[in-house]
Structure 1
Amino acid sequence: MDHVADGKFQEIKVNGWDWSISDPAILDPWFDTWKQVAKKNMVKSSRVRAVFKVENKGSVYFVKYNHPVSLTSKIRSSFVPKSKSEFNSSMLLHEHGIPSIEICGWAKKGSESMLIARELENSVNARTYWFTEACTRVELKEKFLDSFSVFFRSFMSSGFYHPDFHLGNIMVRKDDMSFFLVDPYGVEKKGRLPGSQFFKMVRIIGAFRGEINDREAGEILLKARLAKDFKAANEVWYRILEAEAADVEKVWDKRKLQIITGKGNYCRVFKSCLGQGISIRNSMDGQAMIDNRILMDEKFDESYENERMPEAQAESQWLKSFKLQFHRLAHNMPLAWIKINDTESILVFARKASSNSIKAETVGEFLMRCRAAGIRMDLSRKLAESDGRIYIADYKDIFN
């Protein structure tokens, strides 16, 4: 292991890899057998990228390994490694006081590269935390949105542009509700952002649209100093809703195929022991919304009900429900689709329409949301209310 000191980071060579790292001891002993460690502690992987976890002297680190496949990507990575670009972006953020995870170093070997970051203790992915916990309790929801607004204001006023600015790239520390950027790749210091880039980043709050009302959206924008008053905030908010709706429509054909085949994260498709096709819906955080074992349980009727219908009708209603979910519009949502035979199906519903999230909105506001999603028909007689939440009870002829 050859060491060359360079300010805070040291330049070292280990097993053919050129590292720039804050403390070379971080690599001991796992890096000598990093491929085996990666296989054992893999967090996620794709054809060109993998993330795995390592432990060192009581600390936990995450390693992002980039291995381009195409010849063009390999050549580009040989000259400008992706890990180095992400490392430089992270240093720039820290220099300007933007909360982000601690990057401990990066490495290169040919066209391959690595980036290592220290785990942010007691933290969770912001998107996951929002859907599983934060939006379910009033006090927690308010604290989450208030703290997010502070982070949002800090980032938007910094003059940085992030091409992939969304909740999935942000962590939240649960003990003090502080937010941190975890994927700085592509971040640039722009000064004053062009309008299109500014709006693209402001759209991050569109992720909350199913759980916040117009007032709460306006408060986020005002606290982040992105609007001068509620009227201006509402105009920005509805531009965001319309942009989100346009994106839903743009990818709908692809999503529809994923829903039918079960190849996405939206539902699970399998065969029962009787050979019946079953689709189980997933929640926003990827968990099954109903246990398939309950479908045959004697207590099924206590909480659920079946609606028998022709297969074509069941498929149509199943798909329309997902489209409404993508638009984040509350509705009487089927939790499972069971294909009894080639012509007949069953949709399974909860006996009481419910939502984990807390949201107070008027009928008028809900109808405005529907119009922003592109639904122009009169829905006033198709709405119902449960536990203070307005929802669409009948949507058989929507999107026709």
Structure 2
Amino acid sequence: MKNCNWSWRFATPAIAAELGDRPELLLEAGREVKSNPVRQVFRCGDYFLKYDKRSGRRLRSEWNCAQLIEREGIQLVEHLALGESSAGSILITRAFPEAEAVSDYFYRTYIEQPGEPAVFLNNFVHFARKVLESRLYHPDFHIGNVLYSPGLNRFALVDAQGVRKAGWFDRWFRRYSMERIGMEFRFSRTRHQMLKLLAALGIADPEEFYVEALVRESAALWHEWPRRRRQALAGYPKFSVQDGSLLRTVDPLRRTVPLENYEVLEGESALVESLFLSHFFLQLAQIPHRRVLALDRRNRQVYLEKISSSTVPTAAADYQERLNALDIHSETRDWGKDEFGRISLWNLDLIRLYV
């Protein structure tokens, strides 16, 4: 990169010595991992470099937010340096060792597999309570913005943007946007387990919070569903990918779901499309269900996960309360329980009428 009169500030003198006189040159040696028209993220060894082509105000704000978080004693990915010039600004952070987002780790370890996450969640609660009980307001506090390193058994915030000292309005009217982080684990947790988790997070009345949260989360889903519906049908990478004539499902880890152990259902275009969409609606609602693997619009077919011979009909248990919040009612015949005792909604016809 040309010398554009970069001005650098470093976290410590030791970091300044580590990065040298021209840290901007790390961009040329780095590998791009994310990009949009105005911002790029590169990885170079153990460093991440966020390069914003606009004025330095945005990354400068993030740098200041990071310092605020560190002063509260909250673990954050290490912010090393901020550079500003006429060409834009660069924020350099250190990679958190062998870490992945809590959302990804939880899905891979405790949803894909029949594991028990109690110990992991206890550790997460210890970290999350420190954030919730701090004097800060984080406008985007969710498990995708928290990293977990299994080797270190440590958590760290990865996104500091917008964090500020909590004002009166934040504490009274925006509190839910942070406390709802516990609700993001409800996919594999019973009502009783959720209430214990919410209590451990310091929620004063877990029962009242849980009931209200189901209503608020459901209202948010209905509000955003038209956009999510369009994205799923358009091959938006978070949900689906076009593969020849097939629009294939992408799982929460951005992996294309394998076409195996499935059955094909043929029908009218509206029918197969609505069954396909039912999968994404239930995924966003965090309700276990029979997966849809692919949609073939040209041949009017949908590929459904085959129901295991060991699956038996069962009552909805706690999940009916969650469907009630969506104003959807189910019967025992709509649900199945597998050999591990996991309950899933198998009758997608129940959902397709709404999506």
Give me the whole-angstrom Cα distance separating, in 1, the residues matched to 2:210 and 2:89: 40
Q: Distance in 1 between matches of 2:53 and 2:246?
A: 38
Establish whether residue 162 from structure 1 lines up as the match of residue 115 from structure 2: no
Match of 2:308 in 1: 352
CA distance in 2 between counterparts of 1:317 and 1:137 reads 25
Q: Offset at 1:158?
A: 0.7
Match of 2:334 in 1: 382
SS at match of 2:174: helix
Cα deviations across residues 267-318 of structure 1 (Å, max 9, x unaligned)? Answer: 11232xxxxx212111111111114xx6xxxxxxxx3222222332111211
Kindly indicate whether the alpha-carbon contact (under 8 Å) linking 1:42 and 1:52 is maintained by their aligned counterparts in 2: yes
* Equivalent position amino acid for 1:16 in 2: N
1:178 equivalenced with 2:146 (yes/no): no
Aligned pairs for 1:98-117 within 5 A = 98-110=74-86, 112-117=88-93
- 2:283 is equivalent to residue 325 of structure 1: yes
Larger radius of gyration: 1
Matched, 1:220 2:188: no
Q: Which residue of 1 aligns with 2:5?
A: 16
Partner deviation per Cα, 1:151-173 (whole Å, 9 max, x = no partner): 11111111210111111111112
Call closer, same or farther: CA 1:374–1:195 in 2, change over 3 Å: farther
Residues 204 and 157 of structure 1: CA distance in aligned 2, closer, same or farther (over 3 Å): same
Alignment of 1:316 with 2:277, yes or no, is no
TM-score of the superposition, structure 2-length normalised?
A: 0.88
Task: Give the letter for the 2:305 counterpart.
Answer: F
Amino acid at match of 2:338: S
Matches of 1:362 and 1:206 in 2, distance apart?
22
Q: RMSD of aligned C-alpha atoms?
A: 2.6
Deviation at 1:191, TM superposition (A): 6.2
* Residue 321 to residue 123, structure 1, CA distance change in 2 (3 Å): closer
Q: Deviations over 1:49-104 (max 9, x none)?
A: 2111123xxxx111111223xxxxx4xx4xxx222221121112211211111111
Instruction: State the distance in 2 between where 1:283 and 1:199 align.
Output: 27
Counterpart amino acid of residue 326 in structure 1:
L
Structure 2 residue matching 1:153: 3-state secondary structure? helix
Quote how far apart the aligned CAs of 1:379 are. Answer: 2.9
Name the SS for the 2:70 alignment partner: helix
Paired position in structure 1 for 2:41 = 51
Preserved CA contact (<8 Å) 1:135 1:141: no
Q: Distance in 1 between matches of 2:302 and 2:158?
A: 43
- Write out aligned runs for 1:1-400 (5 A): 15-21=4-10, 22=12, 23-28=15-20, 31=23, 33-38=25-30, 41-55=31-45, 60-68=46-54, 74=55, 77=56, 81-110=57-86, 112-136=88-112, 141-190=117-166, 193-227=170-204, 232-271=205-244, 277-291=245-259, 303-339=261-297, 341=299, 344-352=300-308, 363-375=316-328, 377-387=329-339, 388-398=341-351, 399-400=353-354
Would you say how many aligned residue pairs link Structure 1 and Structure 2? Answer: 344
Give the drift of 1:105.
1.4
Measured in 1, the distance between the counterparts of 2:278 and 2:335 equals: 16
**What SS does the corresponding residue of 2:187 show, helix, strand or coil?**
coil
2:60 aligns to what SS in structure 1?
helix
Runs of at least 5 residues in structure 2 that lack an aligned partner in the other structure: none
Cα deviation for residue 238 of structure 1 reads 2.4
Output the CA distance in 1 between the equivalents of 2:185 and 2:143: 10
Letter of the aligned partner of 1:36 in structure 2?
Answer: E
Q: Residues 279 and 257 (structure 1 numbering): CA distance in 2 closer, same or farther, change over 3 Å?
A: same
8 Å contact from structure 2 (residues 315, 332) kept in 1: no
What do the CA deviations read for 1:178-210 (whole angstroms, capped 9, x no partner)? 211111111112266432211111112232121
Aligned CA distance change for structure 1 residues 338 and 348 (closer, same or farther; 3 Å): farther
2:66 match: secondary structure: helix
**TM-aligned CA deviation for residue 367 of structure 1:** 0.8
Aligned-partner Cα distance in 1 for 2:344–2:307 = 14
Distance 1:334 1:246 in 2: 24
| Residue number in structure 2 paired with 1:300 | none
Q: Secondary structure at the match of 2:189?
A: coil
Checking the alignment, whether the CA contact within 8 Å between 1:30 and 1:37 is kept in structure 2 is no
Looking at structure 2, the residues matched to 87 and 24 of structure 1 have their Cα atoms a distance apart, in angstroms, of 16
Paired with 1:362 and 1:198, the residues of 2 have a C-alpha distance of 35
107-116 or 166-175: bigger deviation: 107-116
Structure 2 SS opposite 1:52: strand
Gaps of 5+ in 1: 1-13, 69-73, 272-276, 295-302, 356-360
What is the rounded CA distance, in whole Å, between the counterparts of 2:189 and 2:53 in structure 1?
Answer: 40
